[in-house]
């Protein structure tokens, strides 16, 4: 649509200032005023997508309905906007170069020298504009990853400069920087912001708004100084103060009138006051919990909570619904032994075994499952966590000695989790990962059918291995039931243990679909069961 407005969000001074949260908060406010808004993340690294990145490097890999493996910021976008993103919402330098090089190989450039400017910048601009056109958005917010001044961000900043020129008043730039506080002199310092804006100006980009991340309230003096040095209106100097929860940021931005300033700049009307009732009531419940419960998250990246970002946020959403604060107890799977599990879990109201790949920490996960199953502690296994639940049940209830997933042991006598026949054939093509949204039929009267309040759902996947249906009858006879199935392929998507108050394993990732206004039923029910367990204890 010709009239789509484009907002670019850049960052300066340091990384991790929360560009994603500022982008998502502004998008939320514009959406709440009735504008169809989406957010896009441009990542300056050379990987084609974050799918192959180690979680230690880049945190969680977020998966969209269309099966794209994307940056974890897309999770924030979805949680704030409650609308799905897609492959088009995340672009990396690797992907940009790949398509330019593919075009070059096809001869599309008709013998011209292919260069960063204009070919790479054209491809960046095409991908930015494509998103606006695709679903007729009123506003597209594009977050530029990295920090101004990084060599690898340069083509993006150049693309922003060109687009600002082309689009004129249909575009604007918001620059997020840090105002550090010097405790010794009790002063906020603006110099890093001045330098960072200068660097942006050197690249030919004048920001329209400067958002200042700060630990202390900005004085009028500070705002005036930044306005003066950065060529922006004083009301376009926005304070972004540290808050206890990221979900408060949209309300802070509302107080600072970031939405009004953006709409004025873009020559869009204010329409109506933002409709934020459900959001406010969520915050109200979040900040006033009646219970605090501990839930263990067993994984192998626990020293890096960003690796499980969506799970942690799903607990925040589900906690608020249940008027509870969920304290996540991080438990490293490699540390768990049969003789010490009790010490790790005796103060927990629930145990979650996390997704993952590879053998490391797997036996610890199996000990955690066994402890939850035998002690009737609410248990949720996600993806690899569900597979661990199946393996543990096979070994300890069915007495299938040496049962395993073929991912961990090719020669297991009981491959209860394995590659399906049709996957084996495409192994060489490397296309074996089941990614994106698939339907799931829920068994009537199961825990999950009740939790969903429906007999059908669509959930996102990211895995290779599956429950081996060859053993399904044995499992069901012994009390582990397949309560969710893909009807087209017959693949098992959910297992439940009948002789247990709440024991659920899901092959999919419910955490990718939990949002503030639509907390995920699997998490809501799990937290509810954990509260019951905690209250009875």
In the complex, least distance from residue 464 CB atom to ligand GLN, rounded to whole angstroms = 4
In the complex, least distance from residue 356 CB atom to ligand GLN, rounded to whole angstroms = 5
509 is known as an active-site residue: yes
DSSP collapsed to 3 states, 355-421? CCCCCCCHHHHHHHHHHHHHCCCCEEEECHHHHHHHHHHHHHCCCCCCCEECCCCCCCCCEEEECCH
275 is known as an active-site residue: no
459 is known as an active-site residue: no
Q: Which of 77, 282, 344, 465 is close enough to bind ligand GLN by CB under 6 A?
A: 465
| Cβ atoms within 10 Å, residue 154 | 18
CA 376 to chain centre: 31
Q: Which of 464, 485, 513, 520 is close enough to bind ligand GLN by CB under 6 A?
A: 464
In the complex, least distance from residue 509 CB atom to ligand GLN, rounded to whole angstroms = 7
Contacting residues for 298 by C-beta, under 8 A, at least 6 apart? 331, 332, 333, 336, 351, 352, 353, 354, 364, 365, 368, 385
- Cross-strand bridge partners of residue 441: 456, 485
In the complex, least distance from residue 353 CB atom to ligand GLN, rounded to whole angstroms = 10
Size of the site for ligand GLN (CB under 6 A): 10
Binding window for ligand GLN (CB under 6 A); candidates: 78-86, 307-315, 353-361, 495-503: 353-361
- The values of phi and psi at residue 277, to 5°, are -60, -55
Q: Which of 123, 256, 259, 407 is close enough to bind ligand GLN by CB under 6 A?
A: 407
Q: Which of 155, 299, 355, 364 is close enough to bind ligand GLN by CB under 6 A?
A: 355
Q: Given the complex with ligand GLN, which of 143 and 407 has the nearer CB atom?
A: 407
Residues 311-340 that bind ligand GLN (CB under 6 A): none
In the complex, least distance from residue 417 CB atom to ligand GLN, rounded to whole angstroms = 7
Contacting residues for 251 by C-beta, under 8 A, at least 6 apart? 276, 279, 280, 283
Instruction: Note whether 467 binds ligand GLN by CB under 6 A.
Output: no
Q: Given the complex with ligand GLN, which of 18 and 355 has the nearer CB atom?
A: 355
Residues 383-402 that bind ligand GLN (CB under 6 A): 383-384
In the complex, least distance from residue 462 CB atom to ligand GLN, rounded to whole angstroms = 5
Q: Which of 230, 383, 388, 440 is catalytic?
A: 383
In the complex, least distance from residue 69 CB atom to ligand GLN, rounded to whole angstroms = 11
Binding window for ligand GLN (CB under 6 A); candidates: 14-22, 42-50, 256-264, 461-469: 461-469
Give the H or E element holding residue 342. Answer: helix 341-345
User: What is the spatial distance between Cα 415 and Cα 395, in angstroms, rounded to a whole number?
Assistant: 11
Q: Which of 175, 317, 509, 520 is catalytic?
A: 509
- Cross-strand bridge partners of residue 504: 380, 496
- Cross-strand bridge partners of residue 142: 8, 40
Q: To 10 degrees, the CA torsion angle through 447, 450, 451, 457?
A: 100
Closest-CA residue to 368 (of 293, 302, 273, 428): 302
298 preceded by a cis bond (ω within 30 of 0): no
In the complex, least distance from residue 386 CB atom to ligand GLN, rounded to whole angstroms = 8
Instruction: Note whether 462 binds ligand GLN by CB under 6 A.
Output: yes
Binding window for ligand GLN (CB under 6 A); candidates: 9-17, 148-156, 162-170, 459-467: 459-467
Binding window for ligand GLN (CB under 6 A); candidates: 3-11, 129-137, 354-362, 485-493: 354-362
Q: Which of 357, 363, 441, 479 is close enough to bind ligand GLN by CB under 6 A?
A: 357
Q: Which of 158, 407, 459, 511 is catalytic?
A: 511
Burial readout 207-219 (b: 16 or more C-beta within 10 A, e: otherwise)? bbbbbbbbeeebe
Q: For the chain, how are helix, strand and coil distributed in percent, rounded to 5?
A: 45, 20, 35
Distance set, CA 259 to CA 79, 271, 378 (Å): 19, 11, 43
Q: Given the complex with ligand GLN, which of 125 and 367 has the nearer CB atom?
A: 367
Binding window for ligand GLN (CB under 6 A); candidates: 67-75, 209-217, 257-265, 460-468: 460-468
444 burial via Cβ count (<10 Å: 0-12, 13-18, 19+): exposed
Provide the binding-site residues for ligand GLN, judged by CB under 6 A.
355-357, 383-384, 407, 462-465
Give catalytic residues, as residue numbers: 383, 509, 511
């Amino acid at each position: 649509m010709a009239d789509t407005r484009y907002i670019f969000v850049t960052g300066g001074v340091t990384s991790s200032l929360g560009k994603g949260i500022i982008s998502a908060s502004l998008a939320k406010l514009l959406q709440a005023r009735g504008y169809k808004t989406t957010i896009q993340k441009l990542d300056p690294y050379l990987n084609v997508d974050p799918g192959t990145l180690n979680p230690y490097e880049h945190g969680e890999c977020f998966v969209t309905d269309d099966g794209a493996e994307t940056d974890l910021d897309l999770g924030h976008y979805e949680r704030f906007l409650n609308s799905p993103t897609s492959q088009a919402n995340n672009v990396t330098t690797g992907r940009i170069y790949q398509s330019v090089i593919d075009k070059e190989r096809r001869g599309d450039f008709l013998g011209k020298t292919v260069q960063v400017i204009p070919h790479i910048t054209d491809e960046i601009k095409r991908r930015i504009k494509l998103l606006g056109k695709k679903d007729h958005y009123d506003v597209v917010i594009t977050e530029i990853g990295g920090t101004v001044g990084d060599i690898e961000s340069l083509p993006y900043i150049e693309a922003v400069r060109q687009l600002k020129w082309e689009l004129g008043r249909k575009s604007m730039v918001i620059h997020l920087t840090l105002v550090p506080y010097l405790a010794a002199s009790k002063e906020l310092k603006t110099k890093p912001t001045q330098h960072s804006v200068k660097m942006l100006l050197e690249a030919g980009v004048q920001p329209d708004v400067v958002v200042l991340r700060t630990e202390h309230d900005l004085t009028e003096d500070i705002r005036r100084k930044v306005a003066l040095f950065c060529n922006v209106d004083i009301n376009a100097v926005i304070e972004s103060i540290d808050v206890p929860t990221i979900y408060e940021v949209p309300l802070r931005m509302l107080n600072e009138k970031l939405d009004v300033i953006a709409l004025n700049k873009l020559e869009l009307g204010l329409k109506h006051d933002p409709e934020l009732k459900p959001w406010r009531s969520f915050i109200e419940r979040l900040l006033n919990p009646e219970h605090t419960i501990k839930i263990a998250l067993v994984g192998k990246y626990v020293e890096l909570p960003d690796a499980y970002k969506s799970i942690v946020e799903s607990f925040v959403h589900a906690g608020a619904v249940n008027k509870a604060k969920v304290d996540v107890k991080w438990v490293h799977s490699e540390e768990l032994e049969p003789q010490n599990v009790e010490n790790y879990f005796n103060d927990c109201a629930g145990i979650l075994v996390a997704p993952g790949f590879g053998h490391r920490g797997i036996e610890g996960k199996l000990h955690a499952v066994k402890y939850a199953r035998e002690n009737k502690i609410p248990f949720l296994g996600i993806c690899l966590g569900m597979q661990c639940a199946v393996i543990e049940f096979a070994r300890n209830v069915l007495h299938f000695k040496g049962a395993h997933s073929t991912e961990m042991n090719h020669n297991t006598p009981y491959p209860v989790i394995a590659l399906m026949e049709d996957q084996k054939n495409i192994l060489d093509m490397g296309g074996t990962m089941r990614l994106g949204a698939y339907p799931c039929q829920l068994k009537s009267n199961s825990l999950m059918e009740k939790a969903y309040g429906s007999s059908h759902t669509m959930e996102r996947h990211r895995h290779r291995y599956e429950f081996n249906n060859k053993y399904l009858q044995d499992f069901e006879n012994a009390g582990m039931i397949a309560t969710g199935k893909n009807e087209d392929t017959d693949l098992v998507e959910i297992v439940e243990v009948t002789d247990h108050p709440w024991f659920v394993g899901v092959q999919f990732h419910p955490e990718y679909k939990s949002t503030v206004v639509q907390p995920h039923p699997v998490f809501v029910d799990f937290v509810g069961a954990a509260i019951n367990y905690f209250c009875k204890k």
